[in-house]
């Protein structure tokens, strides 16, 4: 297995099951510090995190790994249509190989939207002691009518505006990226999608972040974590904020992330028994 090139513009590819995935790394490598693995939203990619990963690395002192899932950014296109359990497959079949290739020793999974769901599914489905905490930003555990209506609006915007051309600045195949997300969420069979049971199996601390005005999900998504998790849950609800807290309320989001990661490190230090 080829180790990753720990740099912002890596030269070594990340290949999982023959699929090449775009990635970037910030801050110290895994052998020097814990790693925050950032999982993007449904139309995101590594580049669309913009400067936030570098700011997270600088603020926390941890390494940060971001990558574009298949079908996004400069990664290989996805086979369409995506299966309705695509987030579970991403969590169980792809994410562990990414962690292995990165040489992760200790990490925090930090997901946004679909990426947050993937992070939660992984932590609730796979016993991986490398994962010490979860940061779930605007997660989805079940569908909501208001969110599906917004996704339907996005389909109209994609068809009638220059959205495809704008997406092409970041995605090698914008049609593949959009259809892989939009067509799946709007599939009639997806209305019954619900992965809330993974929360029951979480045994690591969770930071849940959501904008009060999130147009894709209500606070019921956060309440699901609070009511079902046996592990500690910290909740941050941001005012004047929709679906992208790291962009719309970046300083408050960064403060919450830094406080959470620092507390995890204090807990880790306290649990180390002197020899």
pLDDT in tens, 29-52: 999 999 999 999 999 999 999 999
Say what the pLDDT of residue 196 is.
Answer: 98
Per-residue pLDDT band at 275 (split at 50, 70, 90): low
Residues 149, 94, 170, 177: what is their CA dihedral angle, to the nearest 10 degrees?
Answer: -40
Residue 1 pLDDT more than 60? no
- Report residue 39: phi and psi, to 5°: -115, 120
Say what the pLDDT of residue 34 is.
Answer: 97
CATH superfamily of the 14-268 domain: Alpha/Beta hydrolase fold, catalytic domain (3.40.50.1820)
Residue 274 pLDDT more than 60? no
Structure pTM?
0.96
The domain segmentation of the chain, as residue ranges, is 14-268
Per-residue pLDDT band at 3 (split at 50, 70, 90): confident
Round the average pLDDT of the chain to a whole number and report it. 96
CA distance 267 to 263: 6
- pLDDT tens digits for 203-240? 999 999 999 999 999 999 999 999 999 999 999 999 99
Say what the pLDDT of residue 66 is.
Answer: 98
Say what the pLDDT of residue 272 is.
Answer: 61
- pLDDT tens digits for 156-213? 999 999 999 999 999 999 999 999 999 999 999 999 999 999 999 999 999 999 999 9
CA distance 8 to 223: 36
Distance from chain centroid for Cα 236:
17
Per-residue pLDDT band at 53 (split at 50, 70, 90): very high
Give helix 52-60 / helix 250-271 axis angle, nearest 10°. 40
């Amino acid at each position: 297995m080829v180790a990753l090139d720990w740099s912002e513009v890596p030269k070594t590819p990340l290949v999982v099951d023959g699929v090449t995935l775009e990635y970037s790394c910030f801050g110290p490598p895994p052998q020097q510090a814990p790693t925050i693995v950032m999982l993007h939203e449904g139309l995101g990619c590594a580049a669309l995190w913009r400067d936030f990963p570098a700011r997270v690395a600088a603020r926390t002192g941890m390494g940060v790994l971001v990558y574009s899932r298949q079908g996004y950014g400069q990664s290989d296109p996805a086979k369409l249509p995506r299966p309705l359990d695509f987030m579970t497959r991403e969590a169980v079949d792809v994410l562990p190989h990414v962690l292995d290739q990165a040489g992760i020793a200790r990490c925090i999974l930090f997901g946004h939207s679909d990426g947050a769901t993937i992070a939660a599914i992984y932590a609730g489905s796979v016993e991986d002691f490398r994962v010490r905490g979860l940061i779930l930003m605007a997660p989805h555990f079940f569908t909501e009518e208001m969110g599906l209506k917004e996704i339907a609006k996005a389909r109209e915007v994609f068809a009638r505006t220059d959205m495809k051309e704008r997406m092409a600045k970041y995605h090698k195949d914008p049609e593949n990226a959009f259809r892989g997300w939009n067509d799946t969420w709007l599939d009639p069979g997806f209305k019954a999608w619900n992965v809330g049971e993974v929360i029951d199996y979480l045994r690591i601390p969770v930071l849940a972040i959501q904008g009060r005005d999130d147009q894709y999900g209500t606070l019921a998504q956060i309440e699901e974590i609070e009511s079902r998790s046996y592990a500690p849950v910290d909740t941050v609800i941001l005012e004047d904020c929709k679906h992208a807290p790291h962009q719309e309320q970046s300083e408050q989001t960064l403060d919450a992330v830094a406080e959470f990661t620092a507390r995890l490190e204090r807990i880790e230090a306290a649990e180390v028994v002197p020899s």
